[in-house]
Amino acid sequence: MALITGAAQGQGAAEARRFAAEGARVVVTDVLADGAAAVAADLGDAAVACPLDVTDPDQWAEAVAAGLDAFGRLDVLINNAGVGPTPRVIEETTLEDHRRTLAINLDGVFFGIRAVIDAMKAEPVRAAGGGSIVNVSSIDGIVGVPGMSSYAASKFGVTGLTRTAALELGRFGIRVNSIHPGVIASPMVAEAPAAIRARLDRLMAAQPIPRMGTPEEVANLALFLASTESSYCTGAQFVIDGGHLAGPPREGLWTDGD
């Protein structure tokens, strides 16, 4: 069984559908309770919905309990929920926005890991090979980005938390890895201001793969990391960014005739 956060739309919904298509049972969670219920309804008997504000440890306990009640075990956690604030330089970032970003993007992942440990350590699960935790970070959790101090700090935090959790939980057969998407065609991007969208379009045009990624491509990577096909992977960072971090754009260095 897989518990997926932020699964009412975008990447989380794509992950829920991909996992269900592979035969997994899914707990579809989101602070958007109606959206989570709609996704779960589409998946039929393979899924149940549960409201979840990832910043609330009590709601985490309720979501895990709901999954165990419905399906009897917990094998996979996909910490997908997150927010992307409007870019602002540090001196213009409010304390309220900073703390909200950290609470959702970092504290939410911490609470999620802590909430599933006991269930994943349970003997029936350990006998089947332990569990897998997949934390969705960002390429901004690997490199700094001007105007995104709070977001980058939260995503760097997820990267460090992933590595530390892998060290602590490996002895229980629990693997912990992080996914680092570049720009993905998600509701978060679609709702961005026009100036931000224009900047993203310019960045995409300079990548080796000159387009945004899709939620389904991220879901495929999450499925790999959740499955036994990645059984020797833990504490690792998996980048899915169209080559964005491969190096600086090389436009102007070469021509078709060189």
Q: Which of 151, 152, 178, 225 is catalytic?
A: 151
Kindly state the tokens that stand for 229.
């096909």
Backbone angles phi, psi at 74, to 5 degrees: -140, 115
Taking the CA atoms of the chain, what radius of gyration do you get in angstroms? Answer: 18
Cα dihedral 140→142→143→145 (10° resolution): 10
Cα dihedral 7→9→15→17 (10° resolution): 100
Kindly state the tokens that stand for 226.
């959740």
How many angstroms separate the CA atoms of 246 and 243, rounded? 5
HSE-CB of 3 using CA atoms within 13 angstroms: 34
How many angstroms separate the CA atoms of 154 and 137, rounded? 8
Contact present, 116 and 133 (Cβ < 8 Å) = yes
Kindly state the tokens that stand for 1.
């069984």
Contact present, 202 and 183 (Cβ < 8 Å) = no
Contact present, 3 and 76 (Cβ < 8 Å) = yes
Cα dihedral 10→219→113→183 (10° resolution): -60
Whether 232 sits among the annotated catalytic residues: the reply is no
Q: Which residues are catalytic?
A: 151
